[in-house]
Amino acid sequence: MRCSLFLFLIAWSAAGVARDDFLLAPESPTVAPGGRIEVTLFLLNDSIEERSFDLPARFTLRPRGRADSPAVTLEATEPRQAQVRLAPGAFHRARYAGTLPQGLVGETVLEPVDFKGPPLAFFIGTPEGSRSGEPPQSAAAEAASAAQTPAAGSALDPDAARFASAFSPYEPTYFSAGSSGPTNARFQVSFKFRFFNPQTKTPFLEKIFFGYSQSSIWDLSSVSKSFRDSSYRPSLFFLDDTITQWNFKQTTLGIQGGFEHESNGDEGADSRSLNIAFVRPTLTFPLRGNYFIAVSPKIYDYFETQDNPDIAQYRGYVDLLLKIGEKDGLQLATTLRKGTRSEAYSVQLDASYPLKTPWLGNLGGYLHLQFFDGYGESLIDYNERGRPEFRIGLMLTR
């Protein structure tokens, strides 16, 4: 009890002048990967009048800077009052617990989704005490711990864990093959890296990322099995997934903005490159159950197109991403482009479905179906319209 009150006072003083009604404090500063997290929620009445507070049966937290990570749901662990009345200066404490999703390692910040309040910060990994002279665990406990702990030193080495925790998915990563003529494969690798850790004293810096995406088209029908073209896209940007939240069904607005370079790495007549400045708002509408709709236009302007000065005629100035589906189920995404030339357009459809089912042995990733039609599937052919392409494969992140 003293520890919880002490953590509460620290969290309240850190909240500064914001004085949010709800504050969260972890029962332990370190949590096992994929393990159970227990927190104490404090309600404080800092007004001069008696106030009533609705105490939730459960609430949701979202990992900061990791838009593709599953949300964390915490539920009350003891009988609670649905509504609490507090005198001026009084506070009320309630305890909640939940299970962390797999893949979260290192210094982690969870931001409230259901209410306004400061984030919850803690470390996911092996407690320091277990490396500094504590009694050894039993064989059963060691086996349980090993089952929850990632390999390669992420939980055993705090530096490695902090480094790994700075990486997160960016755009989809997949490998898919198919044919509407010559057989080919298309694959993409994408990630983002957060420069500053979540405990920095300047919250703005926590949202600055380096992103990298690489996509390639592989000609599998040729004798040499050569790559048709590759596109390399490093970027530097600001990203806030929940800059605004409305009460209407928890609709959220995120914002991204920055600079991106794209090139195919060739020289001479085959060289293609461009630089853009972009802004990308993302509006997400929750639907019934775990379903959602997201609208995400990427609006950009070119400031260097020496190798392809007419690219706007075929690509335009907006990539419109529309996504609908279930957070942990089937998702459909379409990316639309319209060039300034009347006939220039492109449409890409991606469908993904989780493969983590018992009858597939809990295989990781997603079944991926892709369709592309229009101009410029590859950067080398930005001003040419190819035949429609159908592909099937494995998507690792979406």
Q: Residue 243 in contact with residue 255, Cβ under 8 Å? A: yes
Q: Say which residue the tokens 């597939």 belong to.
A: 360
Q: What averages of pLDDT result for each successive group of 10 residues across the chain (398 residues)?
A: 43 39 79 86 78 83 73 84 80 87 80 76 63 39 40 50 81 93 93 82 85 95 86 96 67 93 90 96 89 96 91 96 93 97 96 82 85 94 92 95
Residue 151: which residues within 8 A CB-CB, separation 6 or more? none
Q: Residue 149 in contact with residue 141, Cβ under 8 Å? A: no
- C-alpha 181/C-alpha 12 separation (Å) is 64
- Can you give the pLDDT at residue 217? 94
- C-alpha 30/C-alpha 348 separation (Å) is 43
Nearest to 255 by CA among 204, 188, 307, 293: 204
- C-alpha 75/C-alpha 85 separation (Å) is 21
Class of domain 166-397 as given by CATH: mainly beta
Q: Say which residue the tokens 């506070």 belong to.
A: 91
Six token digits for residue 71: 């949300």
Q: Where in the chain is the domain with CATH 2.40.230.10?
A: 166-397
- C-alpha 173/C-alpha 151 separation (Å) is 22
- What's the whole-model pTM score? 0.64
- Please give the CATH number for the structural domain made up of 2-160: 2.60.40.10
Q: Say which residue the tokens 């928890």 belong to.
A: 250
Q: Where in the chain is the domain with CATH 2.60.40.10?
A: 2-160
What separation, in Å, do the N-terminal and C-terminal C-alpha atoms of the chain show? Answer: 42
- Can you give the pLDDT at residue 182? 86
Collapse the DSSP code of 108 into the 3-class scheme (helix H, G, I; strand E, B; otherwise coil) and give the result.
strand
